[in-house]
Structures are given as structure tokens and as C-alpha cells.
Chains A and B, each alone.
Chain A
Amino acid sequence: GAVVSQHPSRVICKSGTSVKIECRSLDFQATTMFWYRQFPKQSLMLMATSNEGSKATYEQGVEKDKFLINHASLTLSTLTVTSAHPEDSSFYICSASDSHYEQYFGPGTRLTVT
């Protein structure tokens, strides 16, 4: 089956620094990748949608200058949290799609900003 990986699985960074999270589709080419954020005891909220070679489309209320998304190839998308603050601490999950109905989710990245 299709596999999506994320790296790192956990990251702790100091307030004011930037952190990059990678999302890879391991055995398929993903035409579209999605980034979600999940706060404790809450559901997944879509942050942005990215297509390979195009600028990401951000959901309302998501700061595009703070959450930089790059989708440089059909197997890799990155999310960079710039100037991270404690309120950015969350569980970030990516998904990748190669069809009109299927999305495959990564295992998630736990970000803690101290």
C-alpha cells in the first residue's frame, strides 16, 4: 500500500527559531499534498494544500508567511514553521494524494516550542 513518511517524528525547538518538517510519499507520486494541524483533544484542521511546482493554497486564518510550504517534487513537501512560538506547539500531519478519492496520511510530527 501507499506509504507516507514524516520527519522528524518529534521536535523541540526554542521560541523564535524555525523548524522544517518533511513529508514524503515513498512508493507513489503525489500530485497533491495537504498539511493539517491537530491541537490536543481536537480534530484535524487543514492548513494548506499544495500541488507540485505551484504555490500552496492556505486556508483562511493560516499565516502563509509563518507556515512556509514547499512542494518541490512529486514525492516531497516541506512545512517550515518560522519564528516559532509556544502557541505553535501542535501535532502536524501531512497527507498525499495521487487520485481523486484517496489520501494517505503520514504518522505526524509532534512540535514543542519552549
Chain B
Amino acid sequence: AQSVTQLDSQVPVFEEAPVELRCNYSSSVSVYLFWYVQYPNQGLQLLLKYLSGSTLVKGINGFEAEFNKSQTSFHLRKPSVHISDTAEYFCAVRASYDKVIFGPGTSLSVIP
């Protein structure tokens, strides 16, 4: 079985500052990794995904994430955040043909 840990439940950051949202996972098999964003009262939006190949993945809205197999991590980063990035962020894993397992989420608050 797979599990996902997001170490920070809340992350406040000033506008235009960099941010890193941490994600660690455990799995006995190879998994695919995802980051989703959820704005208040809305559904999920896929930010980026790691399937294979280059460990640095670039996504939408200036976000990127790096897959580190040895540390079983998939941290999300953005060099300069905007007010509009305020949202809930979910890290997720999926084994082949299996269900998606979500982490508990990190609430990112961008302070003007």
C-alpha cells in the first residue's frame, strides 16, 4: 500500500518570496507522483506530474517539483509566489492501474 505525508499543514509566505511545499511518500512498488491545487469551493486542478524520465518536472503557473527516489520525496517549489497562489495543495501518488492516494494537504497563504 502507498501513503503520502505532507509535513506542513499550513505555509504562510510573503508575496514574491519563494516557497517549497514538502511531500514524502512510501510505497513498495513504483509510483507515479502528482501535485494538485484546489481553490476554495472548487475542484482539483493538476499542477504537474512525474511519470518517468527527468526528475525535475515543470508544471503550470510557474511551479516545479523534483522527484528524489532515494529520499522518497516530491517537493513542490515556486521561486516567486503571487496572491493568487493562495490555495490548498495536495500531493498524490498512484501505483500502476491503482487508485490515487492523496496527502493531507498543505494550505498555502500568500501575504501581501
Size class of the B contact interface (CB-based, 8 Å): 10 to 19
B90 within 8 A of A: yes
B7 within 8 A of A: no
Q: Least Cβ distance of B43 to chain A in Å?
A: 4
Size class of the A contact interface (CB-based, 8 Å): 10 to 19
Identify which of A11-19, A61-69, A76-84, A98-106 touches chain B.
A98-106
**When chains A and B are docked, how far (Å) is the Cα of A34 from the Cα of B99?**
8
A21 within 8 A of B: no
Contact of B43 (CB < 8 Å), options: A43, A49, A93, A100? A93
Secondary structure dominating the interface of A: strand
Q: Which residues of B contact A (CB under 8 A)?
A: 32, 36, 41-44, 46, 51, 90, 94, 96-97, 99-105
20 further A-B contacts with Cβ under 8 Å, apart from A45-B102, A110-B41, are: A34-B99, A34-B100, A43-B90, A43-B103, A43-B104, A44-B44, A44-B102, A46-B100, A46-B101, A49-B99, A93-B43, A100-B97, A101-B51, A101-B94, A105-B44, A105-B46, A106-B43, A107-B42, A107-B43, A108-B43
* Given known A-B contacts A43-B90, A44-B90, A93-B44, A103 and B104 have beta carbons under 8 A apart: no
Q: Least Cβ distance of B102 to chain A in Å?
A: 5
**When chains A and B are docked, how far (Å) is the Cα of A34 from the Cα of B41?**
20
Determine whether the beta carbon of A105 is less than 8 Å from that of B102.
no
Of A34, A43, A106, the most chain B CB neighbours within 10 A belong to: A43
Residues from chain B with Cβ under 8 Å of A75 in the complex: none
Of B44, B101, B104, the most chain A CB neighbours within 10 A belong to: B44
Residues from chain A with Cβ under 8 Å of B96 in the complex: 100-101
